[in-house]
Structure 1
Amino acid sequence: MEKTVLITGATSGIGKETAKYFAHKGNFKLILCGRRTERLESLMQELSPKTAVTTLSFDVRDKKAVFHAIENLPDAFSEIDILINNAGNAHGLDPIQRGSIDDWDAMLDINVKGLLYVSKAVMPQMVARRAGHIIHIGSTAGKEVYPNGNVYCASKHAVDAINKGMRLDLNQYGIRVGAINPGLVATEFSEVRFKGDEERASKVYQGYQPLKPEDIADIIHFVVTRPYHVNIADLVVMPTAQASSTVINKNV
């Protein structure tokens, strides 16, 4: 049976590759969400020949925009079976005493509050149907803290706690809740963290084979296609070269 999937942060990285992977696999209608309208439109044109696609252009930090967009979905997309809370960013890599308050606000607003806003907009219909699946894209930064990671790590630790709390609270309604926590994935993540400094960002992924967004898309698809009595509650995935946030086997 065809299911409707809502993906936040669908204009790049893991979100974009997940949309493409699901469209290729079939049996999924896609709601693609993001801030960059042109990218959303381009992705919709690319994927529409393969499956039904609609887009929602909003910033997850904007509570009113989130609720307005989801409450006004076209009828064909109004019942959301799977929510993939993928939108998130890191801003800066400074020791906490030199950290930017604007960076802190951005990370907490996007990674924590934005995830909550979207979930709050979607959960009532899942509760009413007593069915649904919510996937949070967390991070190994939500499992350990590394030097200069401070507030970013705090935001992802919050995602870890929300995942656990949501699974407890929604258990009585038969809703599956789980998190996928990647380590180093080669995306625009580091460019955002380093404010567009491409040279500095590229060095993060040199000397070893990082994960690709396609790897995480494949895992997300695996998770949501398990028999309904199976819930993958919390999964950590790292490249083979990575043992922890600070231990990476670089051979170059």
Structure 2
Amino acid sequence: MENGYVKSEFHNGVTTIEFHHPQSNSLPSRLLEQLAQAIHGAGNDTETKVIILRSEGEKAFCAGASFSELAAIKTTEEGTKFFSGFAHVINAMRTCPKFIIGRIHSKCVGGGVGLAAAVDYAIAVEGVEVKLSELALGIGPFVVGPAVERKIGLSAFTQLAIDAHMWRNGDWARKKGLFAELHPSVESMDESIIRLSHTLVASSPEATAELKKLSWQGTENWDKLLIERAAISGRLITSEYSKKAIEKIKQKQVVAA
């Protein structure tokens, strides 16, 4: 589909949620809303025992916020509403009673790093790189920050957040705990995802739900916290600095085209 999609497929206890957008699997408001709804739906489905989150194609796993939508934001209210979309997705993943396996097949930028951090078990392929690019746009990784910090610790999170232009490779991400596994090929990655999903389907739903709650202990305030963080980004994205940074990137994209 030209403007992207979110779709869910159920098979033998596993619900696979896939998202796609032609701009490097970036996420506009519409897809963020659909993604949160899909996660809620699978979490509430008694037949679903485990969820796999993946994106379409072979290029970026997720380039984060939709750049064209960021450029169109004119007011703090519009900005807060947009960034709240990421808050809703992360909170949907946090409160979902099923484990979510992330299939990370390529680069993660900004909000894409947040998605990789918010899944319960991320399986990636060698060659994947990660970058929190928000500071370069005059904002910061405020909404995804708690999820990233929870997974890799404050020191590694601030390294990513401060050097917004530097890519970190998959080995760095695995050693820091963002990825649970790093595989030499897509085939090996997919085999591991199938193996783990089959194991979780055969596990006790009550036990997995309790383990999930335990693993997210201490995040009970995120419904409020992430919306407060969205308001910070929502205010900053309307600043003169952000407008100039976005315009500069748009000009580069035109030249590249």
Which TM-score applies when normalising by structure 1?
0.34
TM-score in terms of structure 2 length: 0.33
RCO (CA 8 Å, sep 6+): is it higher in 1 or 2? 2
